[in-house]
Amino acid sequence: PKNRRSKNFICTISDDRGEEATYAGYPISSVATPDTGKTIGDVISLLWFKKVYPKWATDFIETVIKTVADHGPAVSGAHNAKVTARAGKSVVESLVTGLLTIGPRFGGAIDGAAKYFKYANDNNMTPQEFLAYMKKQGIPIPGIGHRIKSLRNPDKRVEGLKNYAKEHFPSTPLLEYALEVEQLTTSKKDNLILNVDGTIGILMVDMWRALGYTEAEIDEFIESGTLNSFFILGRTIGFIGHVLDEKRLAMPMYRHPFDDILYDVKKAEEIK
């Protein structure tokens, strides 16, 4: 072999050297246009997982992306993106400030939900044991709780995802377990529902198990941040919308009103 020089980079997902670039071996033209019958879900399955998933799975991925695309201007990420756009920054600069809020409290609890619910279920913890275990960990249960959604004001997105899975997944054992946990948490406080992050995380695990992935492979997806990526990708659509909205409305620089801030400043003590 003449090609012995060591390489600085490895790429296992796409190849642009031929006449037409490929996604995991599939020419772009074989997935790009509607007549191919392929969707964004198929493109994600090729570029993130290097597999051709069955239609029930790619349709689920597509459903997730569409479901999380936006949730109004008041959530932390949209707020950041809007404030940045109003400071005169570009689309990409404003977008990333929104994306940076995605994390354990907002939109980025998906990997954590998959991790902890899977761990509890694998170890046959009862919902009571799981709650006690999470209390010991000292963190809120990822995927549980919502600021405005509750038993009285259910999250239609969660209903939609659960209904899709019940109709199209071969089985949903981790979802069944999470719903038992939800019964217990909502009996304590009615906003401690299984939220949209939790539902996505848990259903992705059910999807991968049904697709035949090993536990080690699923753990690797979780550890590498794969599940939060669905939210990052989907919400990018909404954040861009909010940034373009600000620009089209030609909104001025934002400054927060004094009367919405509790100023509680004491004169600094001098240390001698």
Binding site for ligand LMR (CB under 6 A): 71, 75, 107, 147-148, 196
Report in angstroms how near the CB of residue 89 gets to ligand ACO at its nearest.
Answer: 24
d(CA 59, CA 99): 25
**By C-beta, is 190 or 223 nearer to ligand ACO?**
190
Report in angstroms how near the CB of residue 41 gets to ligand ACO at its nearest.
Answer: 20
d(CA 43, CA 28): 9
Report in angstroms how near the CB of residue 147 gets to ligand LMR at its nearest.
Answer: 4
**By C-beta, is 15 or 70 nearer to ligand ACO?**
70
How many CB atoms sit inside 10 A of residue 100's CB?
12
Which of ligand ACO, ligand LMR, none does residue 247 bind to, with CB < 5 to 8 Å depending on kind? none
CB-based closest residue to ligand LMR:
71
**By C-beta, is 46 or 193 nearer to ligand LMR?**
193
Q: Is the dihedral of CA 211, 216, 217, 219 positive or negative?
A: positive
**By C-beta, is 73 or 127 nearer to ligand LMR?**
73
The residues of the shown chain that bind ligand ACO, judged by CB under 6 A, are: 104-107, 109, 140-147, 189, 191-192, 195-198
DSSP 116-178: HHHHHHHTT--HHHHHHHHHHHTSPPTTB--SS--SSS--HHHHHHHHHHHHHSS--HHHHHH
Nearest residue to 141 via CA among 102, 170, 181: 181
Which of ligand LMR, ligand ACO, none does residue 101 bind to, with CB < 5 to 8 Å depending on kind? none
**By C-beta, is 62 or 182 nearer to ligand ACO?**
182
Tokens of 27: 């020419």
Report in angstroms how near the CB of residue 107 gets to ligand ACO at its nearest.
Answer: 5
Q: What is the DSSP letter of 14?
A: E
Report in angstroms how near the CB of residue 102 gets to ligand ACO at its nearest.
Answer: 8
Per residue in 188-214, is it b (16+ CB within 10 Å) or e — as a string? eeebbbbbbbbbbbbbbbbbbbbbebe
